[in-house]
Each structure stands twice: as C-alpha cells, then as structure tokens.
A and B are shown apart, each in its own frame.
Chain A
Amino acid sequence: KNEVEQSPQNLTAQEGEFITINCSYSVGISALHWLQQHPGGGIVSLFMLSSGKKKHGRLIATINIQEKHSSLHITASHPRDSAVYICAVRLIRYGGSQGNLIFGKGTKLSVKP
C-alpha cells in the first residue's frame, strides 16, 4: 500500500479553469511538500506545510492534519502551469538527521490554451 496517494494521475484543463490536485497519506508526518516538475526534469519546491493554508500567487495549498489530506489549487490556470505536481511527506519516524521524504507518484497536468 502506498503511503502517499495522489489524485488524479492525469489532468487536462482549459486555460482559465480552477484546478485541484489531492494528496492523502497514511502515516504520521512532520511536514508536507508540494513540488513542481517541468518537462526536462528539474524539481522546484512550491510549498511546505505543517498546518493550515498557504498562498503564493495563483497557487494555494491546504492541509488537514486530522484527515491526513492536502490539496493544491491553481486558480486561473495557464498553459505554463503544465507540469507534474508531486506531493511528498516528511515522516516523523525519519526525523532528526535523516529527513527522508516519501513521494506520491505525481499528477501530470496539461493546460490547453
């Protein structure tokens, strides 16, 4: 059983649409990351959350610790948002010097003009 589940796996949207990507996890965590990977490979960290909600431009990330669930929202989507979005959790049991991350399999988003 995967400890981090993302949905959907693939998502196609029209420019301007509101997009939601979901992440559920089954373990105790100290933090949750949302990452973005464009074609070509490099990964960029969008958010790191341990509670509540964060907003950066058109991106909003929320986390519900009790329900072990996080969402990434993109408002007014644009073709340049096309990328793979990856949820990753930092496990409590790997705390201290290890700082290991467990990754979801990613959501491939394609925004059409």
Chain B
Amino acid sequence: DVKVTQSSRYLVKRTGEKVFLECVQDMDHENMFWYRQDPGLGLRLIYFSYDVKMKEKGDIPEGYSVSREKKERFSLILESASTNQTSMYLCASSTPALQNEAFFGQGTRLTVV
C-alpha cells in the first residue's frame, strides 16, 4: 500500500514560532508538493520539488521555505508563523510522467494563535 505520511494531524503554534511540517513518501517518487487548503479557495501550491535539493516556488510561497535533503522527505518550514498561516496543509508526491497519479498525505491542520 503506497504511503504519503505527514508527521502531524493537528498542530497549534504561537505567532512568531518556527514551524516544521514533515512529509515522507515510500514510493521513490521524484516529485513532491506542499499545498494549503482554505475554505472557498481550494488547494493552492506553496512549493514543489522535482529532485533532491531542488525546489520551485508555487503560487503562494511567501512566508514559507522548504527542504529536500533526501528523496523520500520534503519539509515545509514556516520561518515565523503568523495567524494567516492557519490552514490545512497537504503534502503530495508523484512521478514525473504526465499521466501518473498524485498521492496525498492525510493533511496537517495548523492553527497559529
């Protein structure tokens, strides 16, 4: 059974804290993605990575950074959490082939207070 695992289901952090969201996949996928999901806005791409140590900005990268030191792990970092980063965060992975599926993690609901 293929797996994309996010380290936490729920997180509560204080404004200004540095926050790490971890994502691990066991499918040897090259591509990994971080999205945030907000009511009325759907899923929006924050960052993606198509190889180890490679990263590309998505639609809304401001306030975030990422790290991909190993193929199976893609980390999303909130350098200084703010209340407008309260959201559901979803990680996904896929192969580069155009017609291959993307697999999603279970999501992390982050609340910044």
Contacts and interface: CB of A to CB of B under 8 A. Distances in A.
A41 B107 contact: yes
A100 B72 CA distance: 18
B31 interface: yes
B99 A30 contact: yes
Nearest to B100: A99
A31 B92 CA distance: 17
B48 A98 contact: yes
Interface stretch (B13-21, B38-46, B76-84): B38-46
Contacts of B97: 99
A31 B107 contact: no
A101 interface: yes
Contacts of B98: 30-31, 90, 92, 95-96, 99
B52 interface: no
Interface residues of A, number: 27
A99 B102 contact: yes
B94 to A, nearest CB: 5
Interface string A73-101: 00000000000001010101001111111
Interface in A25-78: 30-31, 33, 35, 40-45, 48, 50
A23 B33 CA distance: 23
A72 to B, nearest CB: 16
B31 A97 contact: yes
Given A41-B9, A88-B102, A99-B50, 10 more contacts: A40-B106, A41-B88, A42-B104, A86-B43, A96-B96, A97-B31, A99-B94, A101-B33, A103-B42, A105-B41
Interface of A: 30-31, 33, 35, 40-45, 48, 50, 86, 88, 90, 92, 95-101, 103-106
